[in-house]
Structure 1
Amino acid sequence: MLGPGSRYEIDATIADIYLLSADRQRIIGRPTLYVVVDVFSRMVAGFYIGLENPSYVTAMSALTTSMSSKTELCARYGLEITSEQWPTVGVPDAILADRGELLGYQIESLEKAFGVRIELTPPYRGDAKGIVERYFRTLQAEFKPFVPGVVTATKVRKQGGKDYRLDATLTLEDFTRIMLASILHRNQYAVLSKYDRDPDIPNDMALTPLNIWNWGIQYRTGRLKNVSEEALRMALLPRTKVNVSDLGISCFGAYYTSKELLGSGWLHRNGGRRVTGLQAAYDPVMADHIYLFPEKDSSDYWVCSLTDRSRQFRGKSMWELWSIQEEQRKATNAAKVSETTSKRDLEKLVSKTLQDAERSRPAKHKQSKSEQTRGIRDNRMLERDALRAEKTKDRQFKSSKPKSDVTYLHEKPDDGAFPDFLDELFGDDE
């Protein structure tokens, strides 16, 4: 390789350890581990540890970490470092990845904005990224001898044996702290005894990733491109196609708007066709905003916020939005099944009632057709009066209950009238 940043390799695996929830009350399974490695120096440039499945979105999180400063990230987990201890900041020349994760239009923004060359491995050839594959084994070897809940050959060795999943002790935050410390240790102090040393590398230089990186920055080409954090973030955010409707920009079933969008007039048809083929970038950890690109192949964007119609998603992540929508789809589908069943019962009732009415209808009428139609008004009044009389009779029957005995507080008057207490209340005191 030419030098540091000439090529990064990125890959993912499922870590060989079971974790607990944040409150340590539930086993949450094994986390996803992404690692980004600089091929020239073997320096781990970035990583991702979380519970999301390997995908473009999680790959972008790892790449964002690899191209940004890690000092704040380390401080968040109680590890104080300087920028010189982890100097991988900037955009590399090339990225080697699996086809499924960085294939397609999703990665085009990074290629066009910064000239990054995307190299894709052939299908079923994980060995094509041998350097990052070895790092999975190396990094996990650091914690396996000491940490409970590590995956072993079998879950239960024999009847009555112990299930290693029940030994889970670490939370996701604990595991991230351990992995971060392992990466820092390997970047600064691991001696690469099998490294293919170039003839011009000094013999008195220890072959650690940090030493090789610093030497390559000074004596080789391949420096990383320095870009603004906002431009890098926007280039790495995943993108999706969106549609314009009367309610706003539709993205994943939620609606967004902005002052620029309202001013554009796109939400009103005005007899013409709406704008189509729009794309928007989104941050997976926040569903409140999307970044709409009004023009194709342009870096300009409009920040759009959730409308009141989609207020249920405010303060949530995109993963939560997708989960909520999946639950709603399941509930809707179940309700539709019940609706179909009820509608079938309703149709049967209507059909049976109609059949009974047809059978009960007299075959011949005493009146002619004209007499029948002329008497509709009088017939209505007769039927109404009959219904009123029936309701009155029914209410009288319900109200004809035996009266309960009345208990008087004082002696009952002979004439049945209420007692008079005026003299007691207003008479002269004796």
Structure 2
Amino acid sequence: MDDDREDFVAAGAEEARRAAVLRPLVQAYLKGTGSLESGINDAVWELGVSRATVWRWIKRLAEEGGRTSALASRKRGRPTGTTLISGKVEAVIEEHLRRYFLRRERPSLSRIVTEIRSACWQQGLQPPTRRTVQRRLDAMDAREIAKAREGAKAARQKFAPVVGDNKANRPLEVVQIDHTPADIILVDSFERKPIGRPWVTLAIDVATRMVTGYYTSLEAPSRLSVALCLTQAVAPKAELLAELVRNVPWPAQGKPHSIHVDNGRDFRSHAFRSACAEWGIDLVYRPPGSPHFGGHIERLIGTMMGAVHLLPGTTQSSVVAKGDYDAEGMATMTLSDFDRWFALEICRYNNSIHSSLGCTPVAKWEALSEQMMGDIPFEIEAFRVSFLPSELRKVRRDGIHLFQIRYWSDALAGHIGRGDGKVVVRYDPRDLSVIWVELDNDRYVEARYRNLEIPPVSLWEYREAMRNARALGKSGSNELVLAELIRQQRQIESESRSLTRAERRSRERKGTLEGANSAVSTTEGLRAIDTGDTSRPLFKVERW
């Protein structure tokens, strides 16, 4: 490479020497005054070339305005752009490329070449080769081709200029969040049979590339996914690390100043926007047609899925990459296994050298930690609850009715009949045994089942039980029907030896309910309601 550079410099110096000798002759040539013979003879002697070459160079300099580059060596052969095929063949190629190749059906070039050659034979013309057609295609506007074959959006993503800047200078200044289905088939923890792919929600700090939080689930992305991912992102990681591996730093904690998200419904919900506003988090949506806006989280997802592709049961990133690999047959990991593995992979990522940083995300976080703005102390549990789904309900004499289940807390007694009686009620779809009710001064209290015969149940279990009740024509109190049906369903499940994938997936979801709740909530087990216990903690939440 150095030799090529030296040759290029030497050639440039020689061209400059020739131009210096010939420019006076060019001026005389253009003015048409005086004889050039003596000057040309001197140039022939000084440059060591023939008279014809000197004359050719003089004319080139005259045509190019005296630029030195006019004397650069030129390739032998036909000038670029010269064509040897007839104009009629050119017309056939042009017509077929524009009419048949530039289509959303995206026919192959081989098919178009075959049709071009056939059309030429029919017209008595010499058919062009594939290479000739390829050159004509290469000469066309690449953006026009992409727009015609892939659509305007794809063309913009490929060729539109990237404007704006998506940078951050301090930890937690900008955090990006997104969801993705993981490229792996999981099995249930009961029979170790396939139940499908899990979803992963990830949060990354832009300034340090630190993964601040994650959440894995068998459910499609929702407000709950965002809430639990954000809760883990803002919370200290000591308890999580104690269960995984010791002496591995994961210092990310604290509320982000700004969250960058896409335009999914879970991020557009009123509850999510209100919760962000409540905690002073600036919510920024990705501009439509601007995938680069979320580039950091997209690259993180790609990196994480690359690691997932090494696990048994991986589906790879495409059918082609998967080949004949039997993902379901090779699947061995449960959701719990995958969650633990994914947490360790995040720790590995956070403590590995990042190419764009030149250091690990942990080291970058620690280096920039002094620039972090101080955060107002807040309750992690209150933060989590404020992002949960909510409903407006009246405080009745027998408690609060949600999903036709009655809830009670002694703290509700003083609110019966007060005003219109409506309060904000928040719930965790994974466990309906407890709800959070907003009371005076923007504070909430826990309320639990009034009927303690009902076992802890998820919203999905509840709806399934109610559908079964309607199918069986059962009537009466929903609470009694619910308790009976859930007991029967769980008994059948425990006795079943061969379940469908959907049923195994449902049972796995129920089986992980207790563990998931204990990881993100500090709520106690069921207890009697009428104990008069008013010592339960109260936290601030948003006001609608």
Aligned to 1:79: 245
Letter in 2 for 1:29: G
Contact 1:287 1:314 in 2 (8 A): no
In structure 2, relative to structure 1, the CA distance for the partners of 1:281 and 1:151 (3 Å cut) is same
2:327 alignment partner, one of 148, 158, 164? 164
Q: Distance in 1 between matches of 2:344 and 2:257?
A: 27
Aligned to 2:98: none
2:305 alignment partner, one of 120, 131, 140? 140
Structure-to-structure mapping, 1:24-423, within 5 angstroms: 24-76=191-243, 78-81=244-247, 85-99=249-263, 100-108=265-273, 110-122=275-287, 126-151=291-316, 153-154=318-319, 163-189=326-352, 191-195=353-357, 206-218=358-370, 220-222=371-373, 225-266=376-417, 274-276=420-422, 278-295=423-440, 298-308=441-451, 311=452, 313-316=454-457, 320-332=458-470, 335=473
CA RMSD, Structure 1 to Structure 2 (Å): 2.8
Q: Distance in 1 between matches of 2:303 and 2:312?
A: 15
- RCO higher in structure (CA 8 A, sep ≥6): 1
Q: Distance in 2 between matches of 1:180 and 1:265?
A: 46
Contact 1:10 1:34 in 2 (8 A): yes
Q: What is the Cα deviation at residue 91 of structure 1?
A: 0.7
Q: What is the Cα deviation at residue 40 of structure 1?
A: 0.6
Contact 1:6 1:223 in 2 (8 A): no
Q: What is the Cα deviation at residue 31 of structure 1?
A: 0.6
Letter in 2 for 1:49: T
Q: Distance in 1 between matches of 2:282 and 2:222?
A: 19
Q: Distance in 1 between matches of 2:317 and 2:278?
A: 45
In structure 2, relative to structure 1, the CA distance for the partners of 1:3 and 1:182 (3 Å cut) is same
Contact 1:151 1:165 in 2 (8 A): no
In structure 2, relative to structure 1, the CA distance for the partners of 1:169 and 1:111 (3 Å cut) is closer
Aligned to 2:42: none
Aligned to 2:94: none
Structure having the higher helix fraction is 2
TM-score, normalised by the number of residues in structure 2: 0.51
The C-alpha deviation readout for 1:329-360, integer Å capped at 9, x for no partner, is 35415639xxxxxxxxxxxxxxxxxxxxxxxx
Percent identity reads 26
Q: Secondary structure at the match of 1:16?
A: coil
Q: What is the Cα deviation at residue 20 of structure 1?
A: 0.9
Q: What is the Cα deviation at residue 133 of structure 1?
A: 1.0
In structure 2, relative to structure 1, the CA distance for the partners of 1:2 and 1:103 (3 Å cut) is same
Q: What is the Cα deviation at residue 178 of structure 1?
A: 1.8
Q: What is the Cα deviation at residue 221 of structure 1?
A: 4.2
Contact 1:290 1:305 in 2 (8 A): yes
In structure 2, relative to structure 1, the CA distance for the partners of 1:155 and 1:116 (3 Å cut) is same
Letter in 2 for 1:121: R
Q: Distance in 2 between matches of 1:192 and 1:223?
A: 27
Verify: 1:8 aligned to 2:175, yes or no. yes
In structure 2, relative to structure 1, the CA distance for the partners of 1:55 and 1:284 (3 Å cut) is same
The C-alpha deviation readout for 1:71-95, integer Å capped at 9, x for no partner, is 212333x32246xx11111111111
Q: Distance in 1 between matches of 2:387 and 2:284?
A: 16
The C-alpha deviation readout for 1:157-197, integer Å capped at 9, x for no partner, is 89xx65322211111222122211111111112x22234xx
Contact 2:209 2:361 in 1 (8 A): yes
Q: Distance in 1 between matches of 2:433 and 2:184?
A: 34
Structure 2: segments with no counterpart, 5+ residues: 1-167, 475-544
Q: Distance in 1 between matches of 2:391 and 2:385?
A: 13
Q: Secondary structure at the match of 2:176?
A: strand
Q: Distance in 1 between matches of 2:362 and 2:195?
A: 35
The C-alpha deviation readout for 1:348-404, integer Å capped at 9, x for no partner, is xxxxxxxxxxxxxxxxxxxxxxxxxxxxxxxxxxxxxxxxxxxxxxxxxxxxxxxxx
In structure 2, relative to structure 1, the CA distance for the partners of 1:293 and 1:179 (3 Å cut) is same
Q: Distance in 2 between matches of 1:157 and 1:146?
A: 13
In structure 2, relative to structure 1, the CA distance for the partners of 1:175 and 1:13 (3 Å cut) is same
Q: Secondary structure at the match of 2:245?
A: coil
166-175 or 141-150: bigger deviation? 141-150
Aligned to 1:371: none
Q: Secondary structure at the match of 1:142?
A: helix
In structure 2, relative to structure 1, the CA distance for the partners of 1:87 and 1:156 (3 Å cut) is closer
The C-alpha deviation readout for 1:56-114, integer Å capped at 9, x for no partner, is 011111000101112212333x32246xx111111111111233223243135533443
Higher Cα Rg, which structure: 1
Q: Distance in 1 between matches of 2:283 and 2:225?
A: 17
In structure 2, relative to structure 1, the CA distance for the partners of 1:123 and 1:322 (3 Å cut) is farther
Q: What is the Cα deviation at residue 224 of structure 1?
A: 5.1
Q: What is the Cα deviation at residue 146 of structure 1?
A: 4.6
Q: Distance in 1 between matches of 2:191 and 2:362?
A: 36
Letter in 1 for 2:382: A
Letter in 2 for 1:18: I
Q: Distance in 1 between matches of 2:318 and 2:258?
A: 37
